[in-house]
Amino acid sequence: MELETKEVSVTLSRKEIVKQASLQVRDNAFVGLLGPNGSGKTTLLKSIYRVLKPSGGVIRIDGADIRTMSHRETAKRMGVVSQFNALSFDFTVEEMVLMGRAPHKRAFDRDTEEDYRIAEDALRRVDMLDFRDRSFQTLSGGEKQRIILARALAQQVEMLILDEPTNHLDIKYQIQIMDVVKSMGVGVLAALHDLNLTLMYCTYVYVLKDGRIIAHGPTEEVITEQLIRDVYEVDCAVARHPVSGKLSVTFFSTL
């Protein structure tokens, strides 16, 4: 599946947060969305997964305007893992993951063996199978995040939208989540704040500043000392790591 935003603007309380952002995620590409806090990453993503309505521009999935699609239709193709928001009512872990099957279900459909198999599989992939009868509320932040990812896996989508999915996670689970996502082999658009994680996983990045996309291209070409200074206002060194052979960023203190 191919996702495209064309000159999308989003206005919240009369303030234009995203300004004519155009981006593209090709089939199975792992694309990063960078930018400092308040640059409009989350807002742009929310307009893509239809929680916010753009004030201008158009968002297309395989060439078709998403406004012409039902929410069910987009939910079958596009899954979302965002910064976790709290729940008022409790479910078991298994119930939670099974809800990923919702877009595939009609009013009177029951959960089939197939659904259970998919949910079990998803839980195994995020290493949470032993937790399936636990109450979701009692899990730690990182565990919850992995369950939400499992739910998106159970949704069996062609594209994942991730909004800082590794926030508050131990490094082990940051890597686990990113590995699971990468191994799915689907298109990914991920807002990330960790530049090294971005360098590890993303093949292409867009950089947002003040709501505008100011740079985009293959990750290693875009992430430069100059760009980081311009966008994040910090000094750093970008160099090839002697062991991994990958580019990595080292930040300098201002003291």
Partner 1 sequence: MKKRLNPRHAMLGGAILVFIAAFILSILIAVTIGAVKVSLSDVYRIVLYQLTHIRIGEEKFLTSGTMYEIVWNLRMPRVLMGALIGVLLSTCGVVMQATVQNPLADPYILGISSGASLGATFSIMIGASAVFTGALATMGTAFWAFFGALGAMALVMLLAHMGGGRLTSAKLVLAGCVVGSLCGAFTNMMVYVGKDAENMKTVTYWLLGSMVSARWPRLLLPGIVTAVGLLFFLTQLRTLNTLLLGDEAAITLGVDLSKRRRIYMILTSLLSAIAVCTCGIVGFVGLMIPHIVRGFAGSDHRFLLPLAALSGGIFLVWADVVARILIPNTEIPLGVITSAIGAPIFVYMMVRRSYGFGGKD
Cα–Cα distance, 104 to 73 (Å, whole number): 9
Contact status: 137 vs partner 1 (CB under 8 A): yes
Strands 78-81 and 247-251: unpaired
> For the purposes of burial, counting CB atoms within 10 Å of the CB of 14, is it exposed (0-12), middle (13-18) or buried (19 or more)?
exposed
Cα–Cα distance, 6 to 160 (Å, whole number): 19
Residue 190 Cβ vs partner 1, minimum distance, rounded to whole Å:
15
Q: Which is nearer to partner 1, 107 or 255 (CB)?
A: 107
Residue 135 Cβ vs partner 1, minimum distance, rounded to whole Å:
9
Write the single-letter amino acid at 40.
Answer: G
C-alpha dist (Å) from residue 89 to 83, 145, 152 = 18, 17, 20
Judged by CB under 8 A, the stretch of 111-119, 139-147, 177-185, 207-215 that binds partner 1 is 111-119
Judged by CB under 8 A, the stretch of 26-34, 95-103, 186-194, 231-239 that binds partner 1 is 95-103
Q: Which is nearer to partner 1, 48 or 222 (CB)?
A: 48
Residue 210 Cβ vs partner 1, minimum distance, rounded to whole Å:
23
215, 221, 223, 225 alpha-carbon torsion, rounded to 10°: -110
22, 70, 140, 244: residue in contact with partner 1 (rule CB under 8 A)? 70
Write the single-letter amino acid at 29.
Answer: A
Applying CB under 8 A, which residues contact partner 1? 46, 49-51, 70-76, 78-80, 82, 85-92, 94-95, 99-100, 102-103, 105, 107-109, 111-113, 115-117, 120-121, 137, 155
